[in-house]
Structure 1
């Protein structure tokens, strides 16, 4: 089964798509719409998902995150997978489509956030950002802001991006912490000059917070 799926993925590989992806650190050439269509046809297959992941191929691993059963993975299995997920898209899909739906997500969020590997730590901060927005009960938001204030400026790129997202999310979702979150963003200036396409919101936390809050108020 896995051999046939790998052959399908190879047939879908497009050099032009690969060239674009490689500029963003991703080493695959499969159009994601076609990848999702393949996943829809295969439906949920946990054993196949594990086999695809074990190939180490980026497109295969992306497909694995779409056809797996997130709750079927053990904690240590997910920990190993996030350490193997070295391309941005694989890590993003693994965290968002698998780990966030796992009963182990809370425990992994805590352990990963403090991990010395910045890629693993960024996964932990992505889970924290999710909790800030959806399940803030039990989170020490002041403590998170303390860590962000101390470490954001000099954090490696993937971790800095994830921590900055958390900073913005705290400011957007929690009015009582908004002024401090904006102040931290202004003092540190992280991503202030990040190039943004027309119509897109800047990742610079003060601008990001202001824009999202404005949209929320407009909806009311």
Structure 2
């Protein structure tokens, strides 16, 4: 069966639809966390599902610089169509946490350039850019750890995480927790590093959510895994 082609819409039409999804209360909450987007994300995803993949539209949306429009661009683009340098430029433009995170998760991780970008960003002097390298490393820790120097990663986390800027610190802490969760041979050391550094130990965590403090995070996810029967 032939695929239904995506609806042909103009940038102006899409921007009007996004404006209708604006939620002032959501924008206010996001602003307190350093973000600048106010669309209802469920509605945004529904719009992206209807538009399907449209690379030219995605490029137009990204070029506006608007956070909401860039989030939609991430969902309707074709990740494999971007060159390494295009993705590098986009990442450096994506300073807002939500746009930055979605770009890494939904686009860069699906790119054939992901490993080269991971190495490039880990070596970058900009801590926000470096945090993207750590996010990609965390993904590899979970999905494709062969070839990674896990003890070396733990050494670097132990030496640098406590003094790292917030965004970089969060990314390194996630990597620390993922190593402890996925690799039992390194779990004791990962927990010990978290206990010694106390990074995010006092982070306010809503009831029912897992705390980002690495020792607690590791223990809780491992507990859940042990309760889940193997298939």
1:195 to 204, 216, 227: 204
CA drift of 1:169 comes to 0.3
2:37 to 5, 28, 49: 28
Of 23-32 and 188-197, the range deviating more from structure 2 = 23-32
**Distance across 1 between alignment mates of 2:126 and 2:201:** 25
CA drift of 1:10 comes to 2.0
**Superimposed CA distance per residue, residues 168-203 of structure 1 (whole angstroms, 9 cap, x where no aligned partner):** 000000011111111111111101111111111111
1:11 to 7, 20, 23: 20
Which residue in the other structure is 1:219 paired with? Answer: 228
Superposed, 1:18-167 pairs within 5 Å as 18-167=27-176
CA drift of 1:11 comes to 2.6
**Superimposed CA distance per residue, residues 143-164 of structure 1 (whole angstroms, 9 cap, x where no aligned partner):** 1001001000000000000000
1:71 is paired with a residue whose SS is helix
Which residue in the other structure is 1:180 paired with? Answer: 189
CA drift of 1:20 comes to 1.6
**Distance across 1 between alignment mates of 2:45 and 2:154:** 37
**Distance across 2 between alignment mates of 1:169 and 1:213:** 10
**Distance across 1 between alignment mates of 2:20 and 2:178:** 40
Q: Note the aligned Cα RMSD (angstroms).
A: 0.9
| TM-score computed with the length of structure 2 as normaliser | 0.93
Of 3-12 and 200-209, the range deviating more from structure 2 = 3-12
CA drift of 1:28 comes to 1.8
2:163 is paired with a residue whose SS is coil
Of 162-171 and 17-26, the range deviating more from structure 2 = 17-26
CA drift of 1:12 comes to 2.1
CA drift of 1:7 comes to 2.0
Which structure 2 segments of 5+ residues have no match?
1-9
**Distance across 2 between alignment mates of 1:201 and 1:18:** 25
**Distance across 2 between alignment mates of 1:77 and 1:12:** 29
**Distance across 1 between alignment mates of 2:60 and 2:172:** 33
Q: How many aligned positions are there?
A: 220
CA drift of 1:18 comes to 1.2
**Superimposed CA distance per residue, residues 57-92 of structure 1 (whole angstroms, 9 cap, x where no aligned partner):** 000000000000011110000000000001111011
2:162 is paired with a residue whose SS is coil
